[in-house]
């Protein structure tokens, strides 16, 4: 169905519109991403790998 | 509220074991890779020995690097980071040990069976059914241990690395089980339940996502944990990592059909694969930039620290490979690049660059800590870095040049439409110097890897094994009650997502006017979701993120849904397609017993590694190979043999093109018929005796899979094989070649003579070729 629809269409408006929708969605996600209100919560989770209070124990400890 | 202070000692023994296994098997896998690279340049390095032949060793190389080297490296990273991110020891030491030893047993089984020719011939899933079952069991052990650890964690938040591990475990399980659906004939032989187009789609759905969910998502998890550790600063944008995760796992699963562009796969599936591959650019580069920007303000450390050098180069190669992948998925680019060494360059950019360098960075960071010491030699690590980086660049330049050169030569046509280079071997000879350069680049990479092993060994010897330990405060009851699973399932975010996705799907399948209504529906749902969720947030109701972030079960279910959508949408219609493919006509006759036996030899020897059976509708291919291949020609092919690389010409229409003597001579000494060829000799086929009685068992099993053999054909398989074989034997005898009728050589020639032709024609042609024979 779409094949016939597109082949009958002389103007490239729809593909350009589709591309604009894709880029628009991408930009919205980016803006949303950087403008998110809960930045502090995320910062806390992002620091999880850096919480380092390890005290290495020799493996022989178990033996 | 009471609280308990708990001391936790991590299980780092498993991490040390997996690292040791990874470097040992990595070296073996790369050594085999170097050998087969040299075999392409110098055919004599096949040594005339069946189990050292290129076509049998190439699957060993790919399996060793993917599942033994990267697999063990991934498990080391997962075990180390999961325990620390969840502040708990792995749930069961016994399960960890079973996982480790079971995985190594699988690798050893693969290393033995693949060179011996026990193979399903489906790329990256060549292992036969007993090993497939073992993989499933060991993966389940890993999954139980991992999810059990999640359940007993002492950290309520699930860091994004854990998300990537969950996606890996769930998706690999789904991919492996579906792609391994096969009926066993014996301990070492089975037939895929899928055939032809369905098998091709399932295989590349698996193959592409093995790259995505075995070589990419777990390593991204490792990147999100180890890169901040090494850089001593949090990831650049945690929010971006969330977008990265969900978009990547959702989109990746759709991209498999880009391996089958211009084939007999339905066009809609090809287009879907291409479009999703292009969309993958965005999340992949989002992830890459997130990794690199983590080093903001700390780039001076990269100059000093070999660990960061490897990580930065690894992430950069990830960006390069994920740029090149979508590029290669564009149909017009694929027309040039597919079946050539450009694809080999792309794969190695990912494997050597992304996986290999990330592994090295992780090992250099981990081993000193696991042995309570410092790295033995920073200079040696730096030398490794430069050897690896320069080695990869040499490799890639050689393979890009070889691929593009050969493709242009193969597609070159004269003004009158004839081929400029009609001989395939001519194009192969032209790129042979580049094969030598590739081997040089690979050698440099391997030397660097061996240097790393020495450095790590010296580091280990200078310290002794230590286990990480930490202290955690465990609250008797959580400060905030966890949201129930009901809150997730009936939460508004999920329902908005389902409504939006349904409307978007409807847009694709509906007629023009309803489709436009559906498109408006997507916008309305999106707007409503934005307004409602914003209002909910203002009222303090849980957000989408908080609904799932601390709920491993809900998270796993949603991840499963995200990956199943693409799989079901692509696989289901093509499985149903079987009913739509016409099953009448000359090309739909099942193989005779002897041809099927020959076909099984074709898969055993790994002929698909170098020869495709898929003529694409491109001018040069029509000139070179004849009519384009059609879906209905493969309906009885269990498994499909379309191949993915042409080191030799396509064979789909080779039947009847040459006399049987030509095939015999070619298989005994390829250079006798094709001067300049780098194909190994398969002389043992003339010596080996075919298991003739097995022919009837094969037909009976294929009958169960839907191939329309009659009971008479099954019962008379032995006599039929002899009758058909003697036609070939008589033909060869008239040319002075004596070969037993029940030799493997005769069965393989019978199969090759059948390719692309009706059985009756093949037999008539063979008879006609014999002096005194009548057409």
CB pairs under 8 A between A and B: 87
Predicted pLDDT at A4: 64
- Do residues B569 and B644 both lie within one domain? no
For chain B, give the percent of residues with pLDDT over 70. Answer: 93
Task: Name the token pair of B673.
Answer: 């018929």
Q: Which residues pair with B467 in a beta bridge?
A: A57
Chain A within 8 Å of B233 (Cβ-Cβ)? yes
Predicted pLDDT at B472: 86
Candidates A26, A46, A53; nearest CB to B238: A46
Spacing of C-alpha A4 from chain mean position: 35
Is B220 contained in some domain? yes
Is B473 contained in some domain? no
pTM, to two decimals: 0.90
Q: Where are the domains of chain A?
A: 12-36
B81, B234, B241, B507: best to mutate for the A interface, most A CBs within 10 A = B234
Set of chain A residues whose Cβ sits within 8 Å of the Cβ of B77: none
Chain A within 8 Å of B80 (Cβ-Cβ)? no
Chain mean pLDDT for chain A: 71
Whole-number Å distance between alpha carbons of B17 and A13: 59
Candidates A34, A49, A56; nearest CB to B468: A56
- Do residues B613 and B495 both lie within one domain? no
Predicted pLDDT at B375: 97
Mean pLDDT of A6-34: 72
Mean pLDDT of B481-502: 70
Chain A within 8 Å of B529 (Cβ-Cβ)? no
Predicted pLDDT at B763: 44
> How close is the nearest chain B Cα to the Cα of A31, in Å?
11
Set of chain A residues whose Cβ sits within 8 Å of the Cβ of B225: 49
Task: Name the token pair of B542.
Answer: 């849980």
- Do residues B494 and B596 both lie within one domain? no
Is B775 contained in some domain? no
What are the phi and psi torsion angles at B614 (to 5°)? Answer: -155, 105
- Listed residue (B535, B651, B556) closest to B599, CA to CA: B651
Confidence of residue B512 (pLDDT cuts 50, 70, 90): confident
Place of tokens 């016409």: B582
Predicted pLDDT at B588: 72
Is B6 contained in some domain? no
- Do residues B634 and B658 both lie within one domain? yes
Candidates A39, A49, A57; nearest CB to B225: A49
pLDDT in tens, B54-110: 999 999 999 999 999 999 999 999 999 999 999 999 999 999 999 999 999 999 999
Candidates A5, A26, A47; nearest CB to B234: A47
Q: Look at residue B184 and give its three-state secondary structure.
A: strand
Task: Name the token pair of B93.
Answer: 């030491």
Q: What is the ipTM of this complex?
A: 0.74
Candidates B225, B282, B511; nearest CB to A1: B511
- Do residues B561 and B612 both lie within one domain? no
Lowest mean pLDDT among A7-16, B42-51, B499-508, B749-758: A7-16
Predicted pLDDT at B335: 95
Is B17 contained in some domain? yes
> How close is the nearest chain B Cα to the Cα of A12, in Å?
16
CATH of the domain at B429: 1.20.210.10
Predicted pLDDT at B754: 95
Q: Do A48 and B155 touch (CB under 8 A)?
A: yes
Chain A within 8 Å of B469 (Cβ-Cβ)? yes
Predicted pLDDT at A5: 64
Chain mean pLDDT for chain B: 91
- The answer to whether residue B307 scores a pLDDT higher than 90 is yes
- Do residues B254 and B233 both lie within one domain? yes
Provide, for chain A, the percentages of residues in helix, strand and coil under a 3-state DSSP scheme, each rounded to the nearest 5. 70, 5, 30
Mean pLDDT of B181-192: 96
Chain A within 8 Å of B545 (Cβ-Cβ)? yes
- The answer to whether residue B271 scores a pLDDT higher than 70 is yes
Q: Do B469 and A56 touch (CB under 8 A)?
A: yes
Domain boundary (B436, B466, B496) is at: B466
Chain A within 8 Å of B632 (Cβ-Cβ)? no
Pairing of strands B189-192, B466-467: unpaired
Is B472 contained in some domain? no
- Do residues B441 and B493 both lie within one domain? no
Burial (CB < 10 A; 0-12, 13-18, 19+), residue B440, is middle
Set of chain B residues whose Cβ sits within 8 Å of the Cβ of A60: 464-465
Domain boundary (B419, B437, B466) is at: B466
Mean pLDDT of B133-147: 97
Confidence of residue B775 (pLDDT cuts 50, 70, 90): very low
Give the domain range for residue B667: 586-769
CA distances from B602 to B579, B612, B722, B753 (A): 28, 12, 19, 13
Lowest mean pLDDT among B140-144, B276-280, B483-487: B483-487
- The answer to whether residue B581 scores a pLDDT higher than 70 is no
For residues B222 and B81, the answer to whether their CB atoms sit within 8 Å is: yes
Q: Do B239 and A34 touch (CB under 8 A)?
A: yes
Confidence of residue B550 (pLDDT cuts 50, 70, 90): confident
- Do residues B221 and B132 both lie within one domain? yes
Closest residue on chain B to A37 (Cα):
B537
Whole-number Å distance between alpha carbons of B54 and B45: 9
Mean pLDDT of B21-43: 97
pLDDT in tens, B519-535: 788 878 878 887 887 78
Mean pLDDT of A1-25: 69
- The answer to whether residue B481 scores a pLDDT higher than 60 is no
- Do residues B633 and B512 both lie within one domain? no
Give the CA-trace dihedral at B336, B341, B345, B346, to 10 degrees: 40
For chain B, give the percent of residues with pLDDT over 90. Answer: 75
- The answer to whether residue B207 scores a pLDDT higher than 80 is yes
What are the phi and psi torsion angles at B373 (to 5°)? Answer: -150, -170
Chain A within 8 Å of B268 (Cβ-Cβ)? no
Q: Do A49 and B84 touch (CB under 8 A)?
A: yes
- The answer to whether residue B689 scores a pLDDT higher than 70 is yes
CATH of the domain at B762: 1.10.760.10
> How close is the nearest chain A Cα to the Cα of B369, in Å?
8
Candidates A5, A22, A36; nearest CB to B239: A36
Predicted pLDDT at A63: 39
Chain A within 8 Å of B85 (Cβ-Cβ)? yes
Domain boundary (B421, B438, B466) is at: B466
Task: Name the token pair of B10.
Answer: 């991590």
CA distances from B205 to A55, B89, B126, B274 (A): 45, 35, 15, 13
- Do residues B255 and B222 both lie within one domain? yes
Predicted pLDDT at B513: 76
User: What is the secondary structure of B538-606 as a DSSP string?
Assistant: HTTPPPHHHHHHT-HHHHHHHHHHHHHHHHHHHHHHHHHGGGTS---SGGGPPPPHHHHHHHHHHHHTT
- The answer to whether residue A49 scores a pLDDT higher than 80 is yes
Q: Look at residue B666 and give its three-state secondary structure.
A: helix
- Do residues B597 and B567 both lie within one domain? no
Predicted pLDDT at B340: 97
Predicted pLDDT at B177: 95
- Do residues B427 and B492 both lie within one domain? no
Predicted pLDDT at B89: 96
Predicted pLDDT at B349: 96
Confidence of residue A53 (pLDDT cuts 50, 70, 90): low
Candidates A46, A57, A58; nearest CB to B234: A46
- The answer to whether residue B766 scores a pLDDT higher than 50 is no
DSSP H helical ranges for B626-716: 660-668, 670-673, 684-687, 694-704, 711-715
Is B4 contained in some domain? no
Set of chain A residues whose Cβ sits within 8 Å of the Cβ of B511: 1
pLDDT in tens, B374-388: 999 999 999 999 999
Mean pLDDT of B671-690: 97
Q: Do B239 and A33 touch (CB under 8 A)?
A: yes
Is B384 contained in some domain? yes
Set of chain A residues whose Cβ sits within 8 Å of the Cβ of B157: 44-45, 48
Chain A within 8 Å of B468 (Cβ-Cβ)? yes
Residue B639, preceding peptide bond in cis (omega within 30° of 0): yes
Closest residue on chain A to B271 (Cα):
A3
Place of tokens 């040069």: B620
Set of chain B residues whose Cβ sits within 8 Å of the Cβ of A29: 243
Closest residue on chain A to B283 (Cα):
A26
Predicted pLDDT at B408: 97
Predicted pLDDT at B269: 85
Predicted pLDDT at A1: 52
Candidates A26, A42, A58; nearest CB to B238: A42
Predicted pLDDT at B342: 97
Chain A within 8 Å of B102 (Cβ-Cβ)? no
Predicted pLDDT at B83: 96
Chain A within 8 Å of B475 (Cβ-Cβ)? no
Number of domains, chain B: 3
Confidence of residue B770 (pLDDT cuts 50, 70, 90): very low
- The answer to whether residue B761 scores a pLDDT higher than 60 is no
């Amino acid at each position: 169905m779409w094949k016939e629809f597109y082949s009958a269409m002389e103007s490239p408006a729809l593909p350009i519109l589709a591309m604009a929708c894709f880029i628009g969605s991408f930009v919205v996600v980016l803006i949303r991403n950087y403008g998110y209100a809960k930045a502090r919560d995320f910062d806390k989770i992002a620091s999880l790998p850096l919480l380092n209070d390890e005290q290495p124990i020799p493996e022989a400890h178990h033996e | 509220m009471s609280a308990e202070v708990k001391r936790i000692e991590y299980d780092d023994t498993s991490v040390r074991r997996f690292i040791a296994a990874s470097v040992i098997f990595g070296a073996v896998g790369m050594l085999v890779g170097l050998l087969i690279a040299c075999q392409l340049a110098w055919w004599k390095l096949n040594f005339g020995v069946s189990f050292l032949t290129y076509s049998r060793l190439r699957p060993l190389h790919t399996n060793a690097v993917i599942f033994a080297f990267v697999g063990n490296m991934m498990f080391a990273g997962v075990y180390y980071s999961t325990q620390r991110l969840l502040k708990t020891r792995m749930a069961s030491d016994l399960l960890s040990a079973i996982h480790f030893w079971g995985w190594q047993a699988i690798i050893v089984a693969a290393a033995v069976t693949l060179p011996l020719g026990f193979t399903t011939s489906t790329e990256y899933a060549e292992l036969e059914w007993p090993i497939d079952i073992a993989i499933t069991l060991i993966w389940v052990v890993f999954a139980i241990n991992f999810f059990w650890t999640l359940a007993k964690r002492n950290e309520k938040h699930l860091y994004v690395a854990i998300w990537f591990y969950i996606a890996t475990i769930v998706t690999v399980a789904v991919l492996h089980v579906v792609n391994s659906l096969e009926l066993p004939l014996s301990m070492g032989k089975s037939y895929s339940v899928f055939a032809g187009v369905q098998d091709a789609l399932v295989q590349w759905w698996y193959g592409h996502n093995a790259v995505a969910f075995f070589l990419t998502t777990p390593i991204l998890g490792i990147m999100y944990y180890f890169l901040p550790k090494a850089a001593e600063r949090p990831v650049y944008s945690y929010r971006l990592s969330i977008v990265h995760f969900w978009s990547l796992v959702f989109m990746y699963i759709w991209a498999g059909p880009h391996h089958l562009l211009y084939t007999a796969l339905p066009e809609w599936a090809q287009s879907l694969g291409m479009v999703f591959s292009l969309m993958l650019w965005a999340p992949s580069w989002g992830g890459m930039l997130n990794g690199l920007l983590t080093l903001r303000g700390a780039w001076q450390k990269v100059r000093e620290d070999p660990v960061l050098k490897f990580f930065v180069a690894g992430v950069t190669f990830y960006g390069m490979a994920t740029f090149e992948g979508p590029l290669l998925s564009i149909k017009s680019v694929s027309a040039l690049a597919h079946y050539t060494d450009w694809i080999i360059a792309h794969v190695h950019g990912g494997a050597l660059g992304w996986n290999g360098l990330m592994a090295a960075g992780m090992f250099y960071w981990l081993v000193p800590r696991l042995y309570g010491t410092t790295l033995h030699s920073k200079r040696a690590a730096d030398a490794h870095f430069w050897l690896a980086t320069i080695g990869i660049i040499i490799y890639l330049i050689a393979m890009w040049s070889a691929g593009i050169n050969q493709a242009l030569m193969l597609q070159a046509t004269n003004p009158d439409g004839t081929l400029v280079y009609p001989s395939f071997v001519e194009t192969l000879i032209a790129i042979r110097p580049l094969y030598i350069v590739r081997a040089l680049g690979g050698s440099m990479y391997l030397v660097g890897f061996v240097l790393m092993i020495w450095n790590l060994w010296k580091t280990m010897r200078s310290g002794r094994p230590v286990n990480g330990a930490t202290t955690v405060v465990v609250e008797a009851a959580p400060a905030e009650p966890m949201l129930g699973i009901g809150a997730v399932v009936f939460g508004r975010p999920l329902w908005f997502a389902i409504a939006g996705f349904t409307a978007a799907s409807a847009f694709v399948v509906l007629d023009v006017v309803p489709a436009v209504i559906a498109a408006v529906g997507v916008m309305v749902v999106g707007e409503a979701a934005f307004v409602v969720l914003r209002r909910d947030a203002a009222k303090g109701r849980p957000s989408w993120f908080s609904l799932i972030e601390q709920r491993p079960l809900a998270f796993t279910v949603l991840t499963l849904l995200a990956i199943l959508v693409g799989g079901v949408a692509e696989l289901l219609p093509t499985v149903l397609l079987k009913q739509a493919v016409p099953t009448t006509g000359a090309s739909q006759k099942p193989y005779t017993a002897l041809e099927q036996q020959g076909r099984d030899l074709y898969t055993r020897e790994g002929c698909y590694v170098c020869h495709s059976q898929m003529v694409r509708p491109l001018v040069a291919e029509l000139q070179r190979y004849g009519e384009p291949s059609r879906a209905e020609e493969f309906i009885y092919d269990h498994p499909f043999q379309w191949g993915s690389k042409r080191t030799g010409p396509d064979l789909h229409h080779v039947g009847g093109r040459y006399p049987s003597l030509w095939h015999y001579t070619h298989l005994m000494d390829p250079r006798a018929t094709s001067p300049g060829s780098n194909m190994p000799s398969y002389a043992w086929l003339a010596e080996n005796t075919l298991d003739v009685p097995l022919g009837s068992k094969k037909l009976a099993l294929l009958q169960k899979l839907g191939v329309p053999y009659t009971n008479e054909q099954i019962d008379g398989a032995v006599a039929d094989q002899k009758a058909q074989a003697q036609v070939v034997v008589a033909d060869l005898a008239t040319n002075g070649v004596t070969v037993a009728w029940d030799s493997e050589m005769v069965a393989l020639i019978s199969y090759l003579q059948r390719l692309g032709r009706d059985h009756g024609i093949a037999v008539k042609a063979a008879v006609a070729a014999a002096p005194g024979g009548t057409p």
